[in-house]
Amino acid sequence: MSGKWFHNMRRGGIPRLLAKGIRARIFPGTHLMLSVVDLQPWSESPVHSHMNEQWGVCLEGKWVRIQGGREHRVKAGDFWQTPPHVPHGGRTLGVR
C-alpha cells in the first residue's frame, strides 16, 4: 500500500521509543492520530495522560493496563477506551 491515505503498520509513520522495550509508529492526521505500539515482554509504560480521547486494541500477547487507578488484564482481541485526561499506563507480562 502506498499513497497519502494508505499505510502499513510495520513500516512508515514516525518511529518513537516511548520507554525501554516500548516502540511506537505514529501516524498523525488532521483530527486523529494512530499509534501502533510494540511492547516487549517485561516492559513498563509509565502512567501518564493526554488531552484527547484514545482507543486501543491488543493484537497479540497479554499485559496489565493501568487506567484511572485500576489494573485491567488485557489479552489478544481486547480493546479499550481512555477518556481525555485519565491517567493510564501499563506493564507487559512475560509473554508476547
DSSP string, 38-70: EE-TT-EEEEE--SS-EEEE--SSEEEEEETTE
Average confidence (pLDDT) over 20-26: 93
Cα distance between the two ends of the chain:
27
Q: How much is the average pLDDT of 41-49?
A: 94
Least confident of 24-33, 62-71, 79-88: 24-33
pLDDT score of 80: 94
Q: Whole-model pTM?
A: 0.81
Question: Does the structure show a pLDDT above 70 at 96?
Answer: no
Q: What pLDDT is stored for residue 2 in this prediction?
A: 66
- Does the residue 54 lie in any domain? yes
Domain with 26, as residue range(s), is 14-92
Number of domains comprising the chain:
1
For residue 62, is it within any domain?
Answer: yes
Residue 7 within any structural domain of the chain: no
Residues 6+ apart with CB under 8 A from 27: 7, 12, 13, 14, 33, 34, 35, 36
Q: Would residue 4 count as lying in a domain?
A: no
Residue 24's pLDDT band, with cuts at 50, 70 and 90, is very high
Other Cβ atoms less than 10 A from the Cβ of 61: the count is 17
Calpha distance 41→63 (Å, rounded)? 9
- Listed in sequence order, the residues at least 6 apart from 32 whose beta carbon sits closer than 8 Å to its beta carbon are none
Is 40 inside a domain boundary?
yes
pLDDT above 70: residue 95: no
Residue 36 lies in a domain: yes
**CATH code of the domain in which 24 resides:** 2.60.120.10
